[in-house]
């Protein structure tokens, strides 16, 4: 009999999307699974939906806890899991029928500790953007981290990855911290002996357009900088030869936060943070621009900062309009909206 795989699903007020997620897990071609649904104090009918499916499938485990945030719910599910392997799925996303089987087979075939697939971005209007490149890699931790620093096929997301459960010993997602995956995934990668990655889209990452359009800037989104620096400080210390990639990743965090700020009409509320970000960018952009490996989107964004914040905002809004047209055609823009559910 094949080994047990535990699928961890943190849940908080997602009743509109939850059934689609659960159904995609129930229909997995890899049958020896444990579906761990962690209700994190939902105030809608998410818990009722979980119990309904639990009554019809003995592989489903429902854990009900007081609200502690995404990291706390994910940690709780991992600690409770009985499987030899762990994969995480966000409750408003869903996966292909062969999601688990695809990653498990690669992991066993390549004798790896972590197996990774690619994701497909799906908008509310059913527009899809595939990030798959149909490449296959078998990597050591150092090379995996290097590719992650440059966003070369790999990303820091908790999902779309299958881990040996033993990797989580001594590692937890930081409770109450946004972008918790950026502060955790690198630790799991560096603890592994071998990582296998095949760029086939098996995970549907949902972006709700209404929430993006109406979402205003929250100062907590600057925690991306904190989470990123936790990662890059660790990598710089252990792998000094990856310093240039760490510099690029830090700059990405600052640029991404600045881009989020362009959505805020009353920018005076965050003038101190804005000035700190612009000061960092001005002090470091020249050396980053010399790095030939940085993505074109980074280069474009950095060049536009020479126009100051107002010029950057105008340039970024123009760029966003171009991207929206590309999204309608299903083209990948490289700057995905990160959900920041707590």
Closest CA to 204 of 154, 267, 132, 268: 132
pLDDT at 307 over 80: yes
Average pLDDT, the chain: 91
Topology at the third CATH level for domain 5-210: Spore Coat Polysaccharide Biosynthesis Protein SpsA; Chain A (3.90.550)
pLDDT at 340 over 60: no
Q: How many Cβ atoms are within 10 Å of 219's Cβ, its own excluded?
A: 13
Choice between 219 and 216, residue whose per-residue pLDDT is larger? 219
pLDDT at 318 over 70: yes
What is the predicted pLDDT for the residue at 213?
Answer: 42
Model confidence band, residue 209 (pLDDT cutoffs 50, 70, 90):
low
Enumerate helices (H) and strands (E) in the chain, giving the number of each. Answer: 12, 10
What is the predicted pLDDT for the residue at 47?
Answer: 98
Full-model pTM? 0.92
The per-residue pLDDT for range 157-188, each reduced to its tens digit, is 999 999 999 999 999 999 998 899 999 999 99
327 Cβ contact partners less than 8 Å away, ≥ 6 residues apart: 123, 127, 129, 333
What is the predicted pLDDT for the residue at 336?
Answer: 46
Break the chain into its structural domains and give their ranges. Answer: 5-210, 216-328
């Amino acid at each position: 009999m094949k080994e047990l795989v535990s699928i961890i699903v943190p849940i908080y007020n997602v009743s509109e999307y939850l059934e689609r997620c659960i159904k995609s897990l129930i229909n997995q071609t890899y049958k020896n699974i444990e579906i761990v649904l962690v209700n994190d104090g939902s105030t809608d009918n998410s818990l009722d939906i979980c119990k309904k499916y639990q009554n019809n499938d003995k592989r489903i485990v429902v854990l009900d806890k007081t609200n502690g945030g995404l990291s706390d719910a994910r940690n709780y599910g991992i600690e409770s899991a009985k499987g030899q392997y762990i994969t995480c799925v966000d409750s408003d996303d869903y996966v292909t029928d062969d999601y688990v089987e695809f990653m498990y087979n690669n992991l066993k075939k390549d004798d790896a500790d972590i197996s990774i697939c690619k994701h497909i971005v799906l908008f509310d209007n059913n527009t899809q953007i595939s990030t798959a490149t149909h490449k296959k890699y078998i990597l050591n931790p150092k090379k995996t981290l290097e590719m992650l620093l440059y966003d070369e096929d790999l990303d820091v997301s908790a999902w779309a990855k299958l881990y040996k459960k033993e990797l989580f010993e001594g590692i937890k997602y930081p409770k109450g911290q946004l972008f918790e995956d950026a502060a955790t995934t690198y630790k799991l990668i560096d603890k592994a002996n071998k990582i296998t990655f095949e760029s086939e889209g098996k995970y549907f990452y949902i972006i709700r357009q209404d929430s993006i359009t109406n979402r205003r800037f929250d100062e907590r989104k600057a925690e991306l900088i904190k989470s990123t620096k936790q990662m890059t400080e660790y990598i710089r210390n252990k792998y000094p030869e990856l310093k240039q990639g760490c510099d690029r990743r830090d700059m990405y965090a600052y640029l991404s936060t600045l881009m989020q700020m362009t959505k805020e009409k009353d920018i005076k509320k965050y003038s101190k943070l804005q000035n700190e970000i612009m000061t960092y960018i001005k002090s470091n952009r020249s050396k980053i621009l010399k790095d030939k490996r940085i993505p074109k989107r980074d280069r474009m964004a950095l060049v536009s900062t020479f126009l100051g914040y107002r010029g950057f905002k105008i340039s970024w809004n123009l760029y966003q309009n171009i991207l929206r047209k590309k999204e309608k055609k299903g083209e990948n823009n490289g700057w995905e909206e990160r959900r920041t559910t707590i």
